[in-house]
Amino acid sequence: MNRNKIKNSFLVLATTVALGACNKDFLELSPRGSQLEASFYRNQTELFQGLISVYDVTQWGTSGGYTMKQPLLTVASDEAHAGGSDASDQPGWVAYDNFKLNPNLGPQLGLWQKNYSGVYRANLFLQKAEGVPGLDATFKSRTIAEAKTLRAYFYFDLVRWFGRIPLITGPIPTAELYSQKQVEPAAVYAQIEKDLKEAIPDLPLTIPAGENGRIARGAAKALLAKAIIFQNDESRMTEAAQLLNEVNSSGVYQLLANFGDVFNPANRFSAESIWEIPHSNNSAWGDWGWINGGEGTIAPQFIGMADYAGPTYSAGWGFAPISLDLVNIMTGDPRFQYTIIDGAALRTGGATYNERYQNTNYFIKKYAPMQAFRSAVGTAEMNWPYNEIEIRLADTYLLEAEAILRSGGNTARAGQLLNGDAGFVGVRNRVGLAPVPVTLENVYNERRLELATEGHRFFDLVRTGKAAAILGPLGFTPNKNEVLPIPQSEIDVTKNVLEQNKNY
């Protein structure tokens, strides 16, 4: 293997990093060329560009096909169908929707490539940061903390999507690329926790506007708490609740008064946002050959109404139509109007669109393509400026309430977070809803309503043991579909060092 070329093979261990001027937002790269690892990372400026290259992977949504996290997980859950022109349009999405995945069919290759690319870049940065002379001490500690948090983030997605995976925490000699064996999820979670615990003290409490997109302490704490909760060790729920309480009570974040404002691209990096992956519609660059590097997201184009003509929205491709189950449970909820587009109502107002595969006449609204935000340069379809909100305060409120109830903690505090009260804005009273009993089931139900179509539902069903009952009628097989298959191409290139997941 030529180690000076980018490879899309096992673990995607590239030794070149596309770097460019950060002349717009913090995470905006201009992929106008590349430099080899051997001639880079020589000073603080170059090291900082290397850190940006790690962040850049979080923006990727076209690795190995369309792999945008929020709509993909929405389709995998009971919130939406695959959609598209027919069952042969994006067959990997259809396979995830009906759980007819196999080692060669599904979104797994792109997800594997993206996240191991992020792991590789983080590992490389962490190695190089120790050898660059003359670094400012604060710069060094903060950037190392960011790289560790990003590595934890990539591994958190990998372990949830694949279960048993190779755990790599440093650069690997060429001769060892294809001999990396899988470890049990517990070992991956242990590394995630180690990285985050080491990172948290060196991350800033707040991020200045000019650095929006960088990781703050609250994001790392919230991710650590999530990692603990996902391991389902009841004895550790008090620990998770404490971490979440530190985030939720920090004074850094607050619920927005208007629920719909959370998702408006004009209101990015709001007070409710804890971890937000930025995207831009200013990039003149675009490529349909699955080459990552653009700063926009294609998710809005993907889920928009096909051939739409009318006010407000822009035409999309008709994927991920909302399920009637979600429509029914959200009917009458004040969050419906900000979560779901009612196509029939639009038609009554004179708009038109084409019905596509699995059409329900209901569509995702939280990140639907709007005419006001369509790019005027480059490939507009690939350059929507809709940020991906990975973690927001309503999410951490409900997770803290869950952890409290699972640990037998302060029910009054859990009730504040869920319902709110006269002196506290909680998830339900923020949108004008009356209190409900403070039970675990009501917390789970609130997550379904509050976070619908944001990519949380599928993993919530898996971690709470509800996937078989709720997704079973859609094709979900227990002890199999909790995770994706390991990509067959990765097994082949390692000559079966990698083992396929159970029942695939």
**The model's pTM:** 0.94
pLDDT higher than 70, residue 286: no
pLDDT higher than 90, residue 268: yes
In a domain, 96, yes or no: no
pLDDT higher than 60, residue 28: no
In a domain, 54, yes or no: no
pLDDT digits (tens, 9 = 90+) for 227-241: 999 999 999 999 999
Q: Are residues 384 and 428 in the same domain?
A: no
* Cα angle for residues 158, 119, 185 (degrees, 5° grid): 35
pLDDT reported for residue 73: 98
> By C-alpha distance, which of 162, 145, 158, 71 is closest to 117?
158
pLDDT reported for residue 14: 36
Confidence of residue 10 (pLDDT cuts 50, 70, 90): very low
pLDDT higher than 80, residue 300: yes
How would you class 94 by CB atoms within 10 Å of its CB: exposed for 0-12, middle for 13-18, buried for 19 or more?
buried
Q: Are residues 409 and 440 in the same domain?
A: yes
Separation of alpha carbons 319 and 72, rounded Å: 10
Confidence of residue 17 (pLDDT cuts 50, 70, 90): very low
In a domain, 503, yes or no: no
Q: Are residues 248 and 372 in the same domain?
A: no
pLDDT reported for residue 293: 57
pLDDT reported for residue 1: 24
> Which phi-psi region, left, alpha or beta, contains residue 251 (left: φ > 0; alpha: ψ -120 to 50)?
left
Percent of the chain residues topping a pLDDT of 70? 90
Q: Are residues 265 and 307 in the same domain?
A: no
Separation of alpha carbons 80 and 127, rounded Å: 42
pLDDT higher than 70, residue 21: no
In a domain, 249, yes or no: yes
pLDDT higher than 50, residue 104: yes
Cα 97 to Cα 76, 252, 459, distances in angstroms: 5, 38, 14
Cα 10 to Cα 53, 188, 220, distances in angstroms: 20, 18, 28
pLDDT (mean) for 278-296: 70
Instruction: Point out the domain boundary residue: 345, 362, 389.
Output: 389
Q: Are residues 305 and 365 in the same domain?
A: yes
Cα 215 to Cα 58, 235, 428, distances in angstroms: 12, 29, 28
pLDDT reported for residue 298: 93
Instruction: Point out the domain boundary residue: 367, 389, 411.
Output: 389
**Tokens standing for 68?**
């945008």
pLDDT higher than 60, residue 19: no
**Tokens standing for 436?**
């409900």
Residue type, 300: P
Range of 428's domain? 231-277+391-453
pLDDT digits (tens, 9 = 90+) for 372-397: 999 988 888 988 999 999 999 999 99
Residue type, 183: V
Handedness of CA 106, 107, 110, 111 (dihedral sign): negative
Decide which of 357 and 7 is more confident. 357
CATH number at residue 431: 1.25.40.390
Tell me whether strands 273-277 and 182-183 are parallel, antiparallel or unpaired.
unpaired
pLDDT digits (tens, 9 = 90+) for 37-92: 667 889 999 999 999 999 999 999 888 889 999 999 999 999 999 999 999 999 99
Separation of alpha carbons 383 and 376, rounded Å: 9
pLDDT reported for residue 31: 41
pLDDT higher than 90, residue 360: yes
pLDDT reported for residue 122: 98
pLDDT higher than 60, residue 330: yes
Q: Are residues 395 and 271 in the same domain?
A: yes
Separation of alpha carbons 357 and 237, rounded Å: 43
pLDDT digits (tens, 9 = 90+) for 152-199: 999 999 999 999 999 999 988 888 889 999 999 999 999 999 999 999
pLDDT reported for residue 171: 87
| DSSP conformational letter for 455 | T
Cβ atoms of residues 166 and 11 within 8 Å: yes
> DSSP for 316-375?
B--BSPBPHHHHHHHTT-TTHHHHEEEHHHHHHTT-B----TT--SEEE-TT--BGGG--
Instruction: Point out the domain boundary residue: 437, 453, 469.
Output: 453
pLDDT (mean) for 289-298: 71
In a domain, 504, yes or no: no
pLDDT reported for residue 40: 85
Separation of alpha carbons 326 and 458, rounded Å: 13
Separation of alpha carbons 364 and 302, rounded Å: 10
**Tokens standing for 138?**
């604060």
